[in-house]
Chain A
Amino acid sequence: MSMPSVGVVSNKDKERISRTVRSTSKDVKGRVFVFSLLFALAITLLILVVLLVQVLVDGWPILSDDPWAFVTGTLRSRSDDPLLGVSQGLYGSFWIAMFVAALAFPTGVAAAIYLDEYAPHNRFTNFLELVIRNLAGVPSVVYGLLGLSIFVSDNWFSRNITGGQSLVSAGLTLAILVLPIVIITSQEALRAVPNGIKEGAYGVGATKWDVIRGQTLPYAAPGILTGTLLSMSRAIGEAAPLILVGAVTGGMTADPQIWDVTALKDRFTAMPTLIQTWTQQSGRDAGFAAAAAAAIVVLLVFVLLLNISAILLRNRYEKKRST
């Protein structure tokens, strides 16, 4: 670039420009904003850390002794019983997760695909979307009542399918509980698929089914997976609906192996119920406080494993998407 030899900018102006450019005017509002954001993040992390440390410290007497014995042990009436443990709770929570995966995921994803890709946009479908969004916010106790009246109380369902107060009832109830969340997160993932990709596929003569199978679903898969597996974590952590559909809070003797499906129609317990029971019993027998804390740690590890598998699965799909 050739600059004109005669300066376009006078020396006086040059001085003024260099002064303004170098001036360090402080963006006070901007800094306050960033600081408050950091503060919010710090509080969140702090609470989490305090919680984890508290639980670990409380549960340490049991976990440091023999963690595997605690995982394989069963419900006991005394906290110093060496056979005390959470195996029945893990059995219940594992099968609840299985029910949610087998029922809520396919149904929820299918409903989301229908609503986003096929359903006409009219007043009825708008209303339907509103209902689904509201259902996602309904307190879980209400779902417990629903499960109680449909799956547990004496009717055709409970006599022939669920067996009343059983893991089947609990699994069905929690599957219904997370269904709206699965639908909403799947819809979000489907809507994030770029329109250009779909149009490109239609443009070479793909049918709607071709587009959904070959473009939309593969692109949305990581998002759908993440959302649905997070909702599974939620289902595993729920306690209130379980109590309503009959989770046992003590005196359970059966200890089925993890793959033993014959116990699904029997009385059951699950991790959150166990934690709640032991916390209550700690008033009578202080040792149960440590047991409850240790059970919380086991539950957290369980949920963590689920989330890690979700992340691994998502990464695999995302890699597929970009190659």
Chain B
Amino acid sequence: MTRGPQVLDAHADVLQTRVGAAFPGSRAVFRGHDLHQSALKDIDWLSLCAFGIFGRHVPPEQLRLFNSVWVWTSYPDSRLWNNRVAALAGTTRSTPTLSLCAAQALSEAAIYGRGIEFRAVDFYLKTRKILQGGITLADHLESFLQAGGRMAGFGRPIATADERVALSHALACDLGLADGEHVRLALEIDTYFAATRPHLRINVAGLYSAFAADFGWTPREFSLFMFVTFQAGMNPCYLEAADKPPGAMFPVRCADVRYEGVPARAWPGG
């Protein structure tokens, strides 16, 4: 039974949890381990984050791969839409945390960031099952696209080529992580699009979503894990804007706004 006021009653007045608790002045528990007394106290922060998400320890080579992916996707360019929010918050003299919180929220976007990764992992997992049923990849992709499907992780909103794909794939090869079924599937899709739709070549999100699928991560887990992806590039954007004169980040003259609406008219009764 998951519905009804009796369900809410059963959860009222006390927090039932398996993920942990803080006992101020005494101890803290993190997924069944004493955070200050067990082996957990010595692991690095990223490993702890991963343990919190997956409930199991993630192999160091997988963390190493994404650590580098995050380095290679950290662009302190204030024109990028999420970074721009950090910079705009700097220009209005908002706070560091509000700035980054809003910029990170934008990173769950339909055409880049978390939105792409979520759909890409989902697509790989479902596609693999479909292909196991005997359908060819070409037939599947054509049918998906003809039904109005939008490929997540293929194509790029501003540029066609993605300079990070070769870099990420090379590192994955070095780490022995490049031969999983979903990575092979992603590269087969890329090969197909190279011949049929060059504007849909794989981008780095398409590649590392395939890594995630190979590692057994769900779209939700992957989305949580990737939260920090653009963080390093955002901080300088906020700082530089906050150090410029107020309002000096992307100032817009009245004449720079191209109005394309109806001409002036009188308000009814005005």
Q: Do A and B bind each other?
A: no
Give chain B's interface residues, CB within 8 Å of chain A.
none
